[in-house]
Amino acid sequence: MDELELDLESIAHNGIAVARHEGRPVFIPVGVPPFGVIGERVRVRITRDKKSHAFAEIIAVIRESPERRAPRCQHYGVCGGCHFQHVDYAAQLAYKRAVVVEQLARIGGLRDVEVGETIPSAAEWAYRSHITLRPDQRGRLGYTGVDGKSHVAIDECPIAQPPLIALARAARAPKGSRARIQIGMDDAGAALGAPILQIGAQDADDAAPIPTAGAQRVTYHVRGRSFRVTAGGFFQVNAAAAGALVDVVRRRIDPGLRVLDLYAGVGLFSAFLAQEADGVTAVEGFAPAAADLRHNLADLPNTAIIEGAVERVLRDLMPIYDAAVVDPPRTGIKPEALERLLRLAPRRIVYVSCDPATLARDAKLLTQAGYALIDAQPVDMFPQTYHVETVAAFMRA
């Protein structure tokens, strides 16, 4: 394969740097040894050559960037969990904003959008309150490798709270199991120095259930409110930064409105929106999360909870809502759900996204349907990784 010397010019989605050779873009992963930082000159080996573009891997760094630093984890570059440990944190924040800008422009056709500077996480390390692991053939728990296939047995993980790794090293799954396993720790346990732990199976491919250990529910506290989360349910992995995310959403919803909260989870946004709203209707399709949602909003009389798939529930709702908050999975809003939301025609839609590409795709559809993208605010919930949470506010013309 050809070898070239190239300059890493910009960052793209999924931890990929963009360089150019004779006008063609060359896409280069930066999170594998010897790693790459935007602004560096590197020697690369072409791995795939297409007519309009190419893919390459770094084989040597010729000129280092001052934003380069030593990775903290011994597994970095082999484990697929982190992508930017070798990059100064301020540069990571700039990367994430740049990706949001680029995806909105390229996929969404939305240029000159007001995109705020990425809000940093309060903690750069040891921020994950739960982790998802998978077993090898002997039942040892570990992460998926950077190749997306291999199993990496972990001795450390500096982005996870330390008790989680101690438990992961001690735990075993049944031999031959292919289920992913979630281990979490609630913040009350962390404060006591004796964490309450949960182990629960997720997306099992085999018929046998994974045994569970420890508590089946954990509790997180955000801005003075407690949130019960049942094993297998969703809560932000960076619980300490969840308050910043809530603040961004709240600032984009005026008081006194009737609010629809879609993909409501255990009620992180509903609980705070209800404090100022005329009323909040929260929709959640995962039964254990819906039970937690009822529990977490029990003290808020101006809330209504509907359990069911968003696309089905929207079919039966009346167009009475002034604003909608949507926090869909990484794949974005399903087309039928988006179509039915548009029929309800809320004046304002606040879209919380964990994937800039699907945000840009759905933003394009919203603008085509008559909404204007007012602004987008990146929030760093996942330091050391390429993942970024973005809150985008849309207003109906």
Q: What is the pLDDT of residues 188-211, one digit of tens each?
A: 655 444 455 555 554 444 333 344
Our measurement of the distance from residue 125's CA atom to the centroid of its chain's CA atoms, rounded to an integer in Å, reads 16
204 contact partners, CB below 8 Å, separation of at least 6: 177, 178, 179, 180, 210
Residues of the chain with CATH 3.40.50.150: 90-122+238-396
In the three-class reduction of DSSP (H, G, I as helix; E, B as strand; rest coil), residue 185 is classed as strand
pLDDT of 21: 96
Residue from 324, 222, 234 nearest 272 by CA: 222
82 is catalytic: no
The whole-angstrom separation of Cα 169 and Cα 133 is 11
Residue pair 251/276 in contact by the 8 Å Cβ criterion: no
Count of all residues that appear for the chain in the document: 397
Q: What angle do CA 75, 77, 80 make, to 5 degrees?
A: 85
Instruction: Count CA within 13 A, CB hemisphere, residue 274.
Output: 21
Catalytic, out of 73, 79, 157, 354? 354
Structural tokens at position 372: 């204007």
**Euclidean distance between the first and the last CA atom of the chain, given in angstroms as a whole number:** 53
CB 241 within 8 A of CB 121: yes
C-alpha distances (whole Å) from 315 to each of 72, 309, 311, 341, 344 are: 49, 10, 7, 9, 9
3-state secondary structure of 282: strand
Of 253, 308, 256, 263, give the one whose Cα is nearest residue 279. 256
Fold of 3-68: OB fold (Dihydrolipoamide Acetyltransferase, E2P) (2.40.50)
CB atoms within 10 A of CB 205: 8
CATH 2.40.50.140, the chain: domain bounds: 3-68
What is the distance between the alpha carbons of residues 189 and 219, in angstroms, rounded to a whole number? Answer: 9
Q: Which pLDDT does position 197 carry in this prediction?
A: 53
Superfamily grouping for domain 90-122+238-396: Vaccinia Virus protein VP39 (3.40.50.150)
The two three-digit tokens of residue 338, written as one number: 């988006």
pLDDT attached to residue 201: 52
φ, ψ at 320 (rounded to 5°): -115, 5
Which residue has 């008081």 as its token pair?
255
pLDDT at 178: 77
Report pLDDT for 1. Answer: 58
Answer whether 134's CB lies under 8 Å from 144's CB.
Answer: yes
- Chain-centroid distance, C-alpha 142: 20
Give the H or E element holding residue 56: strand 54-63
Which parts of the chain have pLDDT scores under 50? 191-194, 202-212
Task: Tell me how far apart the alpha carbons of residues 252 and 193 are, in angstroms, rounded to a whole number.
Answer: 37
Joined tokens for residue 81: 């969990």
Q: How far is CA 200 from CA 127, 133, 139, 189, 265, in A?
A: 20, 10, 15, 18, 17
The span from the CA of 225 to the CA of 191, in Å, is: 16
Distance between CA atoms of residues 184 and 171, nearest Å: 13
- Choose among 106, 82, 229, 252: nearest CA to 157: 82
